[in-house]
A and B are shown apart, each in its own frame.
Chain A
Amino acid sequence: MRVLLVLPIVLPLVAAGISMCLFRRPTLQRMLGVAVMVAVVVTSIILLVRVDSDGVAVTQLGGWPAPTGITLVADLFSAIMLVVGTVMVLVVLIYAIGQPGTSQTSPWFHPIYLVLAAGVAMCFLTGDLFNLFVAFEVMLSASYVLITLGGTEDQVRTGMTYVVISIVASTFFLTAIGLIYAATGTVNMADLAGRLADLPDSVRSALGLLLLVVFGVKAAIFPLFFWLPDSYPTAPSPVTAIFAGLLTKVGVYAIIRTQTLLFSDDGNGTVLLFLAGATMVVGVLGAIAQDDIKRILSFHIVSQIGYMIMGLGLFTVAGLAGAILYTVHHIVVKTSLFLVSGLVEHLGGTGLLRRLGGMARRAPLVGALFLLPALSLAGLPPFSGFVAKLALVQAGLATEAWLIVGVSLAVSALTLFSMTKIWGGAFWGAPDEPLHHQPSDVRLRAPRLMVGATAVLVTASLAIAVAAGPVYDLSERAAGELLAPSAYVEAVLGR
């Protein structure tokens, strides 16, 4: 059990070191990356099954008991996120291997990518606030390198925005940790849950809101989202896909974890619901004006984050279950949409809608791979997005939060509009300003690995819709644990 908690972090890190030594042997690098990530996925799935049957899993690093030592802990929520996250890392890695250009040109792609995987796993598994900071830094440092790997002018310019805003958020995080330690004398999250409750309300609210700002920047919630649509689209497609699928969701995970475990009695629900509504609306309106597929999708990441925060803001089991289900659905669907947009760019030579057209005729398979997750993102039945949104809306109606339910439904309609815009621009009709070197009636063929990896994800999102019952039950159990954290606290502190 203990080793299961350590492996998802240690395996990719060790492999990253070996991979770096193999920089002259690209084939070996690829085999190593895939083999290690398969091992990590298997470990995470075993961990999820064990946590579901035996309850919260804990290990104390270095043998020091909590709260002295660093704790690794997995409850159902972190185990679910870990499984979904590592599967995404594996699938996108396979896609990257299949894409001509990304992983071949730089020998450093594979090692850095594995470091990113380790950082993400550590974020989900840590039970210590300072260790969470370190995990964020591991993940972000890797992402800084990945987003600027090509070193082109665009990448340097947008990468700069991304790096600077992330460092500012990290400095705030460090500040929050310093203040929390000064107030309570501990950074262990389970220990904090008890000690923060003894603080005066005003101090606790200030600390809670400071952490909300920190994770809000990472999760790109309103009004801290402006860096995201700027920086994501310039990176290579697999990098954008994994960022879109995972990095902001790590921020959402941290928000949900801290708000439920540490600051649940603060009455932040209304604030969160307002932020959720504003995030949804601003994100979706931003998307409407865009012309580049990846920029449209990037604005939609922002909009979708609102739904997850909405589920949290309701502070009920049903709401949180909806939020967890939505996060799982979103990670899968968003990653696959970005992978498809990579395919479109690869085939059409550009991501600009005014230069694309007729893709549905020339590459019907890619068209189908776009259409399924796009409809799912908009929340049409019978796809996974419908199931997740239904869960959220029902939870909202149960607590009589009419306004946010109305906003969420209106935003769904606007999302559908954006998706039809991409469909009409890239897959139907003729390009407005065609790239002259392309004949318009030739069938286009994408590399098999790229299409295969995308197809796997699209199938996974359909599977979530088919298995909606069991997946929702699992989310509901995870949400129950989040709202009654005594089991988590007892497991970590051993009392």
Chain B
Amino acid sequence: MIVVTALVVGVLYALGTYLLLQRQLTRIVIGLALMGHGANLLLLLAGGRAGRPPFVGSDEMGPVADPLPQALALTAIVITFGVASFLLALAYRSWVIDRNDEVEDNVEDRRIARLADRREEAP
């Protein structure tokens, strides 16, 4: 089971990274979400094997599941969710402004790059 989860984590990171390198904002947002899921699964995986619930006074025998990574993952999920919704709002705002889903170049950077080009051509 742990190997399968580890594989899933790897695939999620790979897909997330691929989408992140695209030029459309929607793909970037989805890529970030996938990477976030990968990280949360990784946290769960960090706790080791599954076991019985870690309740005080429980009569069951056998190894106890580690509750801390689950608590960490829960916190991380909430944070990722909040940030992702903000990002979506921002992407929507960007679309409202110029009806365009692409990541744009920085205007000032372009201007300085053009200056450099012109100097090379000048002599």
Binding site for B on A (CB under 8 A): 130, 133-134, 137, 141, 144-145, 148, 151, 153-154, 156-161, 163-164, 167-168, 170-171, 174-175, 177-179, 181-182, 187, 230, 289-292, 295
Give the contacts of B10-65 with A (CB-CB under 8 A): 20, 25, 28, 32, 35-36, 38-40, 42-43, 45-48
- 28 sampled A-B residue pairs with Cβ under 8 A: A130-B72, A130-B75, A134-B75, A141-B79, A141-B86, A148-B93, A151-B93, A153-B97, A153-B98, A154-B107, A156-B90, A158-B106, A159-B90, A160-B90, A160-B91, A163-B86, A163-B87, A167-B83, A171-B32, A171-B35, A174-B36, A174-B39, A174-B42, A175-B39, A177-B72, A178-B42, A179-B42, A187-B72
Q: Are A137 and B83 in contact (CB under 8 A)?
A: yes
In the assembled complex, the Cα of A118 lies from the Cα of B46 at a distance in Å of: 30
How far, in Å, is B115 (CB) from chain A's closest CB? Answer: 8
Q: Are B76 and A182 in contact (CB under 8 A)?
A: no
Q: Are A148 and B83 in contact (CB under 8 A)?
A: no
Q: Are B46 and A157 in contact (CB under 8 A)?
A: no
For residue A141, which residues in chain B have a CB less than 8 angstroms away from its CB? 79, 82-83, 86
- Total residues of chain B contacting the partner, CB 8 A: 40
Bitwise interface map of B from 62 to 81 toward A, beta carbon under 8 Å scored 1, else 0? 00000011001001100100
For residue A178, which residues in chain B have a CB less than 8 angstroms away from its CB? 39, 42-43, 45-46, 69
Identify the closest chain A residue to B35 (Cβ). Answer: A171
Identify the closest chain A residue to B28 (Cβ). Answer: A164
How far, in Å, is A136 (CB) from chain B's closest CB? Answer: 10
For residue B97, which residues in chain A have a CB less than 8 angstroms away from its CB? 153, 156
In the assembled complex, the Cα of A355 lies from the Cα of B86 at a distance in Å of: 36
For residue B117, which residues in chain A have a CB less than 8 angstroms away from its CB? none
8 closest A-B pairs by beta carbon, nearest first, are A182-B46, A174-B39, A178-B42, A181-B46, A178-B46, A178-B43, A171-B35, A137-B79
In the assembled complex, the Cα of A145 lies from the Cα of B87 at a distance in Å of: 10
Given contacts A159-B90, A181-B69, A181-B72, list 17 more A-B pairs with CB under 8 A: A141-B82, A144-B90, A148-B93, A157-B94, A157-B104, A160-B25, A167-B83, A167-B87, A174-B39, A174-B40, A174-B42, A178-B42, A178-B69, A182-B45, A187-B68, A290-B108, A295-B108
Interface flag for B103 (CB, 8 Å): yes
Give the contacts of B83-120 with A (CB-CB under 8 A): 83, 86-87, 90-91, 93-94, 97-98, 103-104, 106-109, 112, 115-116
In the assembled complex, the Cα of A359 lies from the Cα of B25 at a distance in Å of: 41
In the assembled complex, the Cα of A141 lies from the Cα of B28 at a distance in Å of: 18
In the assembled complex, the Cα of A168 lies from the Cα of B29 at a distance in Å of: 11
Q: Are B93 and A156 in contact (CB under 8 A)?
A: yes
In the assembled complex, the Cα of A292 lies from the Cα of B111 at a distance in Å of: 12
How far, in Å, is A288 (CB) from chain B's closest CB? Answer: 10
In the assembled complex, the Cα of A448 lies from the Cα of B32 at a distance in Å of: 45
Identify the closest chain B residue to A160 (Cβ). Answer: B90
Q: Are B75 and A168 in contact (CB under 8 A)?
A: no
Q: Are B103 and A160 in contact (CB under 8 A)?
A: yes
In the assembled complex, the Cα of A292 lies from the Cα of B106 at a distance in Å of: 14
How far, in Å, is B73 (CB) from chain A's closest CB? Answer: 9
For residue B69, which residues in chain A have a CB less than 8 angstroms away from its CB? 178, 181
For residue A164, which residues in chain B have a CB less than 8 angstroms away from its CB? 20, 28, 32, 87
In the assembled complex, the Cα of A206 lies from the Cα of B107 at a distance in Å of: 38
For residue B32, which residues in chain A have a CB less than 8 angstroms away from its CB? 164, 167-168, 171
